[in-house]
Amino acid sequence: MTKPNGWKVLAPGREAELVLAVDFATTGRSDSSFSDLVPHLAPEFTVWETRQPTAAAGMPAKDHLTLWVDEVAAAGRPVRAVLGYCAGGLFAGELATRISALQAGAPRLVVFDPEVPSPSSLHRDFAAMMEQFASVLSPEEVAAAQREGAAARAEAADFAAYGEELGRIFGERAGAAFAREELDTELLDEFVAVFRSFVSYLNAARQIDPVAAWRTAIAVSSREPTEWAASAERSVTVPVDHADILRSRRVAETVNEIIGAYAPL
């Protein structure tokens, strides 16, 4: 089989059945990722994680899903479970629905702190990104960027426009600091491009109505469950911070129990 472009293999596993994970995973982010979770899952699970297309700017949800589903179909392997982190839970729900049409039974759907992206959550992500550059930016510069980001919400025409404005603010603020410290501006360009790609991913996720799919899901929540966790068939809360939910061994044990006992076929 040709190596999939829409997926990367996180665990080769021992089973033919796949466990699919949806997330926008980037190097160096503070939030945990499926790469943190997989080492603690049962070794028989074969885990694939979505790889973000390089041409993600403006890519609609249906194109993301077509890429992912087509490659799973081409692999000819049944899917045991679909996992989704945060906004990835929207894609995961629709992915599980589409895969159900390709095989005899529906895969188990598990969503971690599920969330529908909003301007407030986007500003939260922007603020977290600015904090990651605290070693380059002064506290005053970080605070000023966050104030500009909050003020821009009132002027933005829509979610995508707000994301574009946050990217501009980050580029300007970080650009000045990079120039001052004589750092590689190509690296800055990469960070800005990743953030804009992330905004595109979130905007695409917002095109999906998760209600029907999430009614069949199990929500695994951190100590402060999102409002959307209540939409799930069942919710399991683990006393861990949101940023660490995929690092938690207790969460891994919960996932092993959920998908280990599940037989879609």
Mean pLDDT of 13-31: 88
Give the C-alpha separation, 256 to 83, whole Å. 12
**Adjacent-strand bridge partners of 112:** 85, 220
For residue 136, give every residue at least 6 positions away whose Cβ sits within 8 Å of its Cβ, in sequence order, or none.
174, 177, 178, 181, 183
Q: Tell me what pLDDT residue 59 has.
A: 83
Q: Tell me what pLDDT residue 265 has.
A: 52
Band of residue 142 on the pLDDT scale cut at 50, 70, 90: confident
By C-alpha distance, which of 249, 225, 245 is closest to 235? 225
What percentage of the chain exceeds 90 in pLDDT? 65
pLDDT in tens, 194-208: 888 899 999 999 999
Band of residue 4 on the pLDDT scale cut at 50, 70, 90: low
Q: Is the dihedral of CA 208, 209, 211, 212 positive or negative?
A: negative
Give the C-alpha separation, 84 to 108, whole Å. 11
pLDDT in tens, 211-245: 999 999 999 999 999 999 999 999 999 999 999 99
Mean pLDDT of 155-182: 87
Strands (E), 125-227: 218-221
- Phi, psi values for residue 226, rounded to 5°: -70, 160
Residue, of 65 and 178, whose pLDDT is higher: 65
**Adjacent-strand bridge partners of 22:** 84
Q: Tell me what pLDDT residue 188 has.
A: 81
Q: Tell me what pLDDT residue 32 has.
A: 95
pLDDT in tens, 37-60: 999 999 999 999 998 766 545 789
Q: Tell me what pLDDT residue 13 has.
A: 92
Residue, of 200 and 174, whose pLDDT is higher: 200
Both tokens of 151, joined, read 């003020």
pTM exceeding the 0.85 threshold for the entire prediction:
yes
Q: Tell me what pLDDT residue 5 has.
A: 83
Q: Tell me what pLDDT residue 137 has.
A: 83
Lowest mean pLDDT among 10-14, 16-20, 261-265: 261-265
Band of residue 69 on the pLDDT scale cut at 50, 70, 90: very high
Mean pLDDT (the chain) is 90
pLDDT in tens, 95-113: 999 999 999 889 999 999 9
Q: Tell me what pLDDT residue 247 has.
A: 96
Does the pLDDT of residue 2 top 60, yes or no?
Answer: no
Q: Is 239 helix (H, G, I), strand (E, B) or coil?
A: coil
By C-alpha distance, which of 6, 64, 43, 22 is closest to 260? 43
Residue carrying the six token digits 């021992």: 14
Does the pLDDT of residue 114 top 50, yes or no?
Answer: yes
Please report which residue ranges of 47-118 form alpha helices under DSSP H: 61-75, 88-100
By C-alpha distance, which of 96, 112, 94 is closest to 20? 96
Give the CA distances from residue 110 to residues 62, 88, 131, 199, 242, in Å, rounded to whole numbers and listed in that order.
21, 11, 30, 23, 16
Q: Is 29 helix (H, G, I), strand (E, B) or coil?
A: coil
Query: Count of CB atoms within 10 A of residue 262's CB?
Result: 16
Task: Note whether 81 and 27 are within 8 A (CB).
Answer: no
Does the pLDDT of residue 1 top 50, yes or no?
Answer: no
